[in-house]
Amino acid sequence: MDIHEYQAKEVLSNFGVAVPQGALAYSPEQAAYRAREMGGDRWVVKAQVHAGGRGKAGGVKVCDSDAEIQAATEGMFGQKLVTHQTGPEGKGIYRVYVEAAVPIDREIYLGFVLDRTSQRVMIVASAEGGMEIEDISAERPDSIVRATVEPAVGLQEFQCREIAFDLGIEPGMVQQMVRTLQGCYRAFTELDATMVEINPLVITGDNRILALDAKMTFDDNALFRHPQISELRDKSQEDPRESRAADRGLSYVGLDGNIGCIVNGAGLAMATMDTIKLAGGEPANFLDIGGGATPERVAKAFRLVMSDKNVQAVLVNIFAGINRCDWVAEGVVQALREVQVDVPVIVRLAGTNVQEGQKILAQSGLPLIRATTLNEAAERAVAAWRSDVNQNPNLRAV
């Protein structure tokens, strides 16, 4: 789960990370009022969306007066901000963050991520901040500083000092950098985050180290332990299909293809999508319905997949281990009788009681296309989709 910049800054500030003074606004008038409350003569107005690259897309404006703030925010509210991370559909702007401008001497990149190779938290930093880490890595790879944290002891002060020295922090400011690094690490570990990114972390003209921007991503599976973080979720920034799936206990990721997938198990779902690609098709989604493929759960999955207007065929791929194929087959039949599905449905069952499951599908009277292997299922799904497109030219081929 992602959260907004202003939320990430509030979270990090609670762990001792210094941030500039700022306030949230939901209208142009409120934005101007927030600036007057803070005082000063220059402010930065930032669109709050779950995407990077806001500055290049016009989502960050520097203003010198109330009139400029109102003009800037009137051009933001209710609009779609399109960046390289949002895709052409963009993200809606429904709130802005008004922040007091600070005199910047230096910009630094700082990130905390999970390194799956070392199975450790990795700190990635660069003295060349203010730009995407991918650009930094490509253009100035020598500027990147990396350090891994031993989980048994946590982030030590000597590691923080080494990072500060590698970044060229002045000796008198090293302790500020130590507090910033340790605060980010504590927030990362104590809140089950998967990423903390500050870009840029700035050194101001009056020798302060401040998080000028902040991003945090959290492990969805651990949100039950952190209700205060779960409450920060903004569904307006999410794919509505993924939001509906999460509310129904399903793991779903929307894609741009046209063959819907209903699979039990994340690994099998990935293999199913790969096989569809190899067969010449494009998967419309990743959908893991989990181990309990009950009729109700299968029906929810069908409704979710069919809510995508691009779906022109559905492939159901179930491997029954703890479950039984006959139970799953009954669930598929019941779901198809409850849910309006007007595209070809291909079903592949394997595992416990597979023969009984195939018999239930055959006797259902439903126009199901059955398959015994994953390759066969993918090929039949692609063939059924192509046949359906040829018979119905109005269907859009992706």
Confidence band of 367 (pLDDT split at 50, 70, 90) = confident
From its phi and psi, is residue 207 left (phi > 0), alpha (psi between -120 and 50) or beta? left
Say yes or no: 206 and 282 in one domain. Answer: no
User: Is the confidence at residue 396, as pLDDT, over 50?
Assistant: no
Q: 216 vs 83, which has greater pLDDT?
A: 216
Query: For residues 301 and 326, what is the distance between their CA atoms, to the nearest angstrom?
Result: 18
pLDDT of residue 245: 72
> What is the separation of C-alpha 282 from the centre of its chain, rounded to a whole number of angstroms?
21
User: Is the confidence at residue 392, as pLDDT, over 60?
Assistant: no
Residue 348 falls within a domain, yes or no?
Answer: yes
pLDDT of residue 57: 85
Residue 2 falls within a domain, yes or no?
Answer: no
pLDDT digits (tens, 9 = 90+) for 262-305: 988 888 999 999 999 999 999 999 988 876 666 777 888 888 88
User: Is the confidence at residue 171, as pLDDT, over 90?
Assistant: yes
3-state secondary structure of 285: strand
Q: Known binder of ligand: residue 74?
A: no
Answer with the one of 50, 66, 100 that is the final residue of a domain. 100
Catalytic status, residue 6:
no
CATH code at 277?
A: 3.40.50.261
pLDDT digits (tens, 9 = 90+) for 140-161: 787 889 999 999 999 999 999 9
Say yes or no: 94 and 122 in one domain. Answer: no
List of residues 6+ apart from 299 with CB closer than 8 A: 331, 334, 335, 338, 339
pLDDT of residue 397: 37
Say yes or no: 322 and 257 in one domain. Answer: yes
pLDDT of residue 389: 52
Say yes or no: 315 and 225 in one domain. Answer: no
Say yes or no: 330 and 247 in one domain. Answer: yes
Q: Known binder of ligand: residue 55?
A: yes
AA identity, residue 221: N
Residue 324 falls within a domain, yes or no?
Answer: yes
Residue 83 falls within a domain, yes or no?
Answer: yes
CATH code at 50?
A: 3.30.1490.20
Residue 378 falls within a domain, yes or no?
Answer: yes
Answer with the one of 66, 100, 134 that is the final residue of a domain. 100
Radius of gyration of the chain (CA): 25
CATH code at 146?
A: 3.30.470.20
Range of the domain at 271: 240-391
Average pLDDT over every residue of 361-378? 91
Catalytic status, residue 197:
yes
Q: 245 vs 40, which has greater pLDDT?
A: 40
Q: Known binder of ligand: residue 107?
A: yes
How crowded is residue 151: how many other Cβ atoms within 10 Å of its Cβ? 11
Say yes or no: 188 and 58 in one domain. Answer: no
Q: Which of 197, 242, 330, 379 is catalytic?
A: 197
CA angle 233, 186, 3 (to 5 degrees): 15
Number of domains in the chain: 3
Say yes or no: 73 and 157 in one domain. Answer: no
Residue 9 falls within a domain, yes or no?
Answer: no
Query: For residues 108 and 229, what is the distance between their CA atoms, to the nearest angstrom?
Result: 27
Percentage of the chain lying above the pLDDT 90 cut: 56
Answer with the one of 199, 229, 259 that is the final residue of a domain. 229
Say yes or no: 214 and 258 in one domain. Answer: no
The conformation of residue 55, written as its DSSP 8-state character, comes to T
Say yes or no: 176 and 299 in one domain. Answer: no
Say yes or no: 127 and 213 in one domain. Answer: yes
Tokens linked to 251: 């793991």
Q: Known binder of ligand: residue 238?
A: no
Question: Which range has the worst mean pLDDT, 7-16, 62-71, 108-117, 384-393?
Answer: 384-393
Residue 188 falls within a domain, yes or no?
Answer: yes
Q: Known binder of ligand: residue 357?
A: no
> What is the separation of C-alpha 148 from the centre of its chain, rounded to a whole number of angstroms?
24
Tokens linked to 371: 């398959």
Q: Known binder of ligand: residue 46?
A: yes
Q: Known binder of ligand: residue 208?
A: no
Say yes or no: 178 and 296 in one domain. Answer: no
Say yes or no: 184 and 245 in one domain. Answer: no
pLDDT of residue 71: 93
List of residues 6+ apart from 67 with CB closer than 8 A: none
3-class secondary structure for 303-365?
HHHHCCCCCCEEEEEEEECCCCHHHHHHHHHHHHHHCCCCCCEEEEEEECCHHHHHHHHHHCC
Query: For residues 370 and 316, what is the distance between their CA atoms, to the nearest angstrom?
Result: 10
Q: Which of 5, 6, 97, 109 is catalytic?
A: 109
Residue 1 falls within a domain, yes or no?
Answer: no
Q: Known binder of ligand: residue 199?
A: yes
